[in-house]
């Protein structure tokens, strides 16, 4: 079962997570912390149906991280916000969202939990399928990143289904570029990012 991690512990133990806060003394300006990144990529999946995107996304990400010999991923929000908003918790108009909220409630993650969640690779596919539903259904559920325990790769799932991958050292960058070619992911060709294929 995915493991909850207290927010303060997560902040101390996994220092490569991006963070942001509001400075009320400076007119509520946002203050950002971002780790030093080796390379940044945006990857996507070609799917004909948005209904199947979550399933394919969870399957392909799991395959990618298994091939990189990653045993656990930690998911964490970059600002002090609960995982499940009170509004999302009470919605009953979309079955996948109802199922996602129930999944997180069964993990004892409700509208007060603000920490991190460590997910074993064997549980990753199910976790991501529900995590992605929250991402696309709740506009305030954003800026949640994931990282491996060794802090060599950092990622972010966008509500569109595209995934931002940031490698944090040369070795992981080489491994990622090699293994992602065995998945269904393609380059999103976003500006200011590296290309998966050096010839493009």
- Residue range 135-158, pLDDT digits in tens: 999 988 888 999 999 999 999 999
Could you identify the residue written with the tokens 């997570």? 17
Does some domain include residue 198?
A: no
As a residue count, the chain comes to 200
How high is the pLDDT of residue 77?
96
Angular region, 135: left φ>0, alpha ψ -120 to 50, beta rest = alpha
Estimate the share of the chain in helix, then strand, then coil, as percent rounded to the nearest 5.
40, 25, 40
> Considering its fold, how many domains does the chain have in total?
1
Tokens of 190: 């976003």
Q: How do residues 155-182 score in pLDDT, each as one tens digit?
A: 999 999 999 999 999 999 999 999 999 9
Q: Are 59 and 161 in contact (CB under 8 A)?
A: no
What DSSP string runs through 141-169?
A: ---EEEEETTS-EEEEE-TTS-EEEEE-S
Whether pLDDT at 17 is above 90:
yes
The answer as to whether 199 is a domain residue is: no
186, 34 Cβ separation under 8 angstroms: no
Residue 192 lies in a domain: no
Asked whether the predicted pLDDT for residue 28 surpasses 80, the reply is: no
Classify residue 107 by its DSSP letter: T
> Model-level pTM?
0.94
What band does 26 get if pLDDT is binned at 50, 70 and 90? low
Pure H helices in 71-146: 86-90, 95-106, 124-137
Digit-coded pLDDT (tens) for 49-99: 777 899 999 999 999 999 999 999 999 999 989 999 999 999 999 999 999
In a domain, 178, yes or no: yes
Percent of the chain predicted with pLDDT > 90: 82
Q: Residue 111's pLDDT band (boundaries 50, 70, 90)? A: confident
User: Is 27 a residue whose pLDDT tops 80?
Assistant: no
Express each pLDDT in 30-40 by its tens digit.
Answer: 889 999 999 99
61 exposure class (CB count in 10 Å sphere: 0-12, 13-18, 19+): buried
Residue 122 lies in a domain: yes
What pLDDT does residue 182 have?
Answer: 95
For 30, phi and psi rounded to 5 degrees? -85, 135
The answer on pLDDT for 132 being more than 80 is: yes
Average pLDDT, the chain: 93
Least confident of 1-5, 25-29, 134-138, 167-171: 25-29
Q: Provide the pLDDT for residue 199.
A: 60
The verdict on residue 141 lying in a domain is yes
Structural domain including 172 reads 3-187
Residue 195 lies in a domain: no
Quick check: is 182 in a domain? yes
Q: What is the pLDDT of residue 198?
A: 65
Count CA atoms closer than 13 A to 22's CA, side-chain side: 5
């Amino acid at each position: 079962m995915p493991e909850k991690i207290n927010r303060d512990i997560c902040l101390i133990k996994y220092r490569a997570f991006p963070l942001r806060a509001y400075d009320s003394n400076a007119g509520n300006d946002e203050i950002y912390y971002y780790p030093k990144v080796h390379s940044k990529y945006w990857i996507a999946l070609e799917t004909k149906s948005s209904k199947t995107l979550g399933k394919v996304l969870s399957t392909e990400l799991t395959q990618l991280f298994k091939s990189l010999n990653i045993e656990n991923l930690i998911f964490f929000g970059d600002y002090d916000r609960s995982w499940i908003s009170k509004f999302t918790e009470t919605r009953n108009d979309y079955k996948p969202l109802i199922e996602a909220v129930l999944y997180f409630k069964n993990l004892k993650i409700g509208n007060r939990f603000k920490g991190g969640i460590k997910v074993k690779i064997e549980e990753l596919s199910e976790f991501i399928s529900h995590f992605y539903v929250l991402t696309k259904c709740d506009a305030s559920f954003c800026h949640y990143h994931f990282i491996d325990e060794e802090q060599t790769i950092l990622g972010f799932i966008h509500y569109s289904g595209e995934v931002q991958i940031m490698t944090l050292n040369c070795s992981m960058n080489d491994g990622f570029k090699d293994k992602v070619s065995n998945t269904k992911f393609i380059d999103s060709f976003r500006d200011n990012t590296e290309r998966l294929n050096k010839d493009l």
